[in-house]
Structure 1
Amino acid sequence: MNIYTFKDEEGFVQTAANQITSLLNANPYAKLGLATGSTPVGLYNKLIEMHRQGLVSFANATTYNLDEYVGLPKDHAESYRTFMNEKLFNHIDINKEQTHIPNGNAEDLEDECRSYDRMLEQNGPIDIQLLGIGHNGHIAFNEPAESLTSGTHITTLQAKTREANARFFPSIDDVPTHAITMGVGSIMKARQIMMLIRGEDKAEIAKRALTGPVSTDCPASLLQCHPNVIVLLDQGAGRYFK
């Protein structure tokens, strides 16, 4: 595991963007695992900028998102399909038919989970998987538990996770209670994992995940077992890694 801290936002997002653009320039058909939330927005802005400068093309790339809320229409302002379209896909030359996000409105959610896993198995492995981390150590929507599910599954969002996401909704009551998420086993199959951690409020969980015991009580700690992980922390989140 390689851990880097940055004093400024530009260095943080440029380093992350370089990881992805270098991969695409070497392999235009690369498979990208993407994430949502506020943490990767700066990265996506940088990728759009580099694309407009002619430094990278996404024309032949395929993307797989980690998760989606259950019950939100795909065109809902806070759905992860809307997020990805607005924050990245609408601004680059990617074929949207090659962008995959779990369907949180499938008639049969269990079948959707199985279908997503089959797709990942048939088309994988993902070349680089982007991750953030929740305040409770979750990755994607794999919440702390006595045991974790390996494949794509439906998960009940913990109160802390819903509270963290409430800022994107009119009220906490509007935050979905369930999500469909890629499992830890699927995440761990990626050739490389890049975790982005931002903010002083993530410093404690970053320390626990990256240096503490490996435990399902902190799902992100399982990344210590992966052979190719790069972690980028901003100055606040990297307080213990200077």
Structure 2
Amino acid sequence: MLQIFPDTSTIAEHVSATLVAKIQSKPDAVLGLATGGTMEPIYAQFVAHAHRVNLDVSRLTSFNLDEYIGLSPDHPKSYSAYMREHLFSHLGFDTSRLHLPDGMTQDLEAHCKAYAAHIQAFGGVDLQLLGVGGNGHIGFNEPGTPFDCPCHVVELAEQTRIDNSRFFAEGLMVPRSAITMGMAEIMQAREIVLVATGEAKAQIMAEWYQQDVTERIPFTALKRHPRARIILDEAAASLLPPEARQQRMVAVG
């Protein structure tokens, strides 16, 4: 289902409310979490909302999508640090239930298998948050990744590294590889919410809308998921056909 909201603020309110409702109905839910600029206003709104309703998050389990290889959890540009800054440190999470790939692991293959098995041991993900890259990647599953691929190591596409360089200080190189939850784990989630905002995502959203399911655009796989929602702001939806934008406009207020 495609939903278009006026701006990032209304998206943050909507996704936050979705998360709160999920946790209230299932306090021991398993969440799949994403990082990046798209998620920052969502996490900020969720934290504020959770405080307002005194939400208990202590029984939640979370699995993050990915982590850069070579960055320790305390590295300021690691996704572990991102999650602490934007979410984990603000609410009463049980830290033993918060899982991220280990970018410093010595045996990458064994770690990927163990991470995938750990997700399965918890019964899989109840609600998976996703952003999308300019080339259509979700997690770090770059174009061409098989849809049945489990958690794995990926060499990041040059465009992905360019896109992510804005998060690194001048002179710091974006790592060339990462561990990512695979398309298999993502597609096994019981519910998926993908958010895309800004003009920079308009072209890939237009391609997603026009294309059949193809590994060349990884997130087209979501068209096969029974409970996947694609949530856009007006800017990200700007290149969609007029009929798509009119028929799927969501009134907020």
TM class, shorter-length: over 0.9
Give the conservation status (yes or no) of the 8 Å contact 1:68–1:103.
yes
Secondary structure at 2:38's aligned position in 1?
A: coil
Q: Does 1:114 align with 2:113?
A: yes
Q: Offset at 1:201? A: 1.2
Secondary structure at 1:186's aligned position in 2?
A: helix
Secondary structure at 1:58's aligned position in 2?
A: coil
Q: Offset at 1:55? A: 4.7
Secondary structure at 2:2's aligned position in 1?
A: strand
TM-score by length of 1: 0.96
Give the conservation status (yes or no) of the 8 Å contact 1:166–1:172.
no
TM-score by length of 2: 0.92
Q: Please identify, of 205-214 and 123-132, the stretch whose mean Cα deviation from structure 2 is larger.
A: 205-214
Corresponding position of 1:169: 168
Give the conservation status (yes or no) of the 8 Å contact 2:196–2:232.
yes
1:189-204 mapped onto 2 (5 Å cutoff):
189-204=188-203
Distance in 1 (CA, whole Å) between partners of 2:174 and 2:148 is 23
Corresponding position of 2:154: 155
Secondary structure at 1:213's aligned position in 2?
A: coil
Corresponding position of 1:44: 43
Distance in 2 (CA, whole Å) between partners of 1:129 and 1:213 is 22
Taking a change above 3 Å as real, the CA distance of residues 200 and 186 of structure 1, as seen in their structure-2 partners, is same
Corresponding position of 2:207: 208
Cα-to-partner distance string for 1:53-81 (whole Å, 9 max, x where unaligned): 12522111110000000001111111000
Q: Please identify, of 133-142 and 147-156, the stretch whose mean Cα deviation from structure 2 is larger.
A: 147-156
Q: Offset at 1:102? A: 0.5
Distance in 1 (CA, whole Å) between partners of 2:172 and 2:143 is 22
Taking a change above 3 Å as real, the CA distance of residues 139 and 40 of structure 1, as seen in their structure-2 partners, is same
Distance in 1 (CA, whole Å) between partners of 2:82 and 2:33 is 11
Aligned residues: 241
Give the conservation status (yes or no) of the 8 Å contact 2:146–2:183.
no
Secondary structure at 1:175's aligned position in 2?
A: coil
1:178-197 mapped onto 2 (5 Å cutoff):
178-197=177-196
Counterpart code for 1:216: E
Corresponding position of 1:65: 64
Cα-to-partner distance string for 1:209-237 (whole Å, 9 max, x where unaligned): 24411111000111101110111101100
Distance in 2 (CA, whole Å) between partners of 1:71 and 1:61 is 28
Counterpart code for 1:137: G
In structure 1, the gaps of 5 or more residues are none
Q: Offset at 1:8? A: 2.8
Corresponding position of 2:251: none
Q: Please identify, of 171-180 and 194-203, the stretch whose mean Cα deviation from structure 2 is larger.
A: 171-180
In structure 2, the gaps of 5 or more residues are 246-253
Q: What stretches of structure 1 move > 2 A for 4+ residues in a row? A: 54-57, 146-149, 170-173
Secondary structure at 1:40's aligned position in 2?
A: helix
Corresponding position of 2:130: 131
Counterpart code for 2:32: G
Secondary structure at 2:48's aligned position in 1?
A: helix
Counterpart code for 2:227: N
Distance in 2 (CA, whole Å) between partners of 1:172 and 1:204 is 29
Q: Offset at 1:146? A: 6.5
Give the conservation status (yes or no) of the 8 Å contact 2:155–2:177.
yes
Aligned residues: CA RMSD: 1.4
Q: Offset at 1:10? A: 2.5
Secondary structure at 1:39's aligned position in 2?
A: helix
Corresponding position of 1:97: 96
Cα-to-partner distance string for 1:117-160 (whole Å, 9 max, x where unaligned): 11011112211000000000000000002645621000000000
Identity of aligned residues (%): 35
Distance in 1 (CA, whole Å) between partners of 2:221 and 2:8 is 27
Give the conservation status (yes or no) of the 8 Å contact 2:147–2:221.
no
Counterpart code for 1:165: N
Secondary structure at 2:31's aligned position in 1?
A: strand
Q: Please identify, of 174-183 and 148-157, the stretch whose mean Cα deviation from structure 2 is larger.
A: 148-157
